[in-house]
Amino acid sequence: MRLKLSDSTFAGLGFGTTSGVITTLGAIIGIYASTHDRAAILTAVITVSVADAFSDALGEHISEESKIYTSSENVKNITFSTFFSKLLVGLSFFIPFMFLNTFAAVIVSVLYGSLVLFLISFRIAKLSKQSSISVVSSHLIVAFCVIVVTYFLGNLIEKAFGTASM
């Protein structure tokens, strides 16, 4: 039996999943580059997952409500699917840190996040009949850019404020 999702539910899942990966990876990489502090990384994973899930769900809710042609069912679907996918995907990054040392957990998080983005991007490409290579590569390039930028920002913050010695 195949689960059939409404367009609005799939849109919320796509948004929440992608945002969950990008936001959480950005926090993990930036904090790791700045402090290497496992507790700080885990705190960020949990707080970003919860706060950003509410924020993105409300943002999607308001965005959909502002569209005259959107039904209340679509608003509800996109709000809840955004919230739960963002929350669950974000919190899933906690798992590698439970079983691995901090460096290994960061590497696994990057690989895991890349896999999740690959899968959701591939599904989107198939559903929209676009080139899988084009869609997947463009989404992974954005994720790579976030990783690089947040790594350098974390390093810059550490150099400017000496957070590793705190």
Number of domain units in the chain: 1
Q: Residue 111 CB: number of other CB atoms within 10 A? A: 11
In single-letter form, the type of residue at position 147 comes to I
Compute the average pLDDT of residues 49-76. 86
- Is 165 part of any domain? no
Q: Are 125 and 132 in contact (CB under 8 A)?
A: yes
Query: Span 101-116, mean pLDDT?
Result: 97
Does residue 1 lie within any of the structural domains? no
> Is residue 73 a part of any domain in this protein?
yes
**Structure tokens of 9?**
């539910």
pLDDT for the residue numbered 1 = 47
DSSP designation for 70 = -
Question: Is 108 inside a domain boundary?
Answer: yes
- Domain span at residue 26 reads 8-160
Q: What percent of the chain has pLDDT over 90?
A: 66
Question: What pTM, to 2 d.p., does this model score?
Answer: 0.89
Give a yes or no: residue 57 inside a domain.
Answer: yes
Classify residue 140: in a domain, yes or no.
yes
- Cα-Cα end-to-end distance for the chain: 54
Over residues 24-49, the mean pLDDT reads 95
| Average pLDDT over all residues of the chain | 90
d(CA 30, CA 41): 9
CB burial of 133-160 (b: ≥16 within 10 Å; e: otherwise) equals eebbeebeeebeebbeebbeebeebbee
**Does residue 166 fall inside a structural domain?**
no
pLDDT for residue 89: 96
Q: Would 131 be classed as within a structural domain?
A: yes
Residue 100 phi, psi (nearest 5):
-125, 160
Residue 88 has pLDDT above 70, yes or no: yes
For residues 42 and 90, give the distance between their C-alpha atoms in angstroms, rounded to a whole number: 11
Q: Would you say residue 96 has pLDDT above 50?
A: yes
Angle CA(56)–CA(53)–CA(90) in degrees, nearest 5? 125
Is residue 154's pLDDT more than 60?
yes
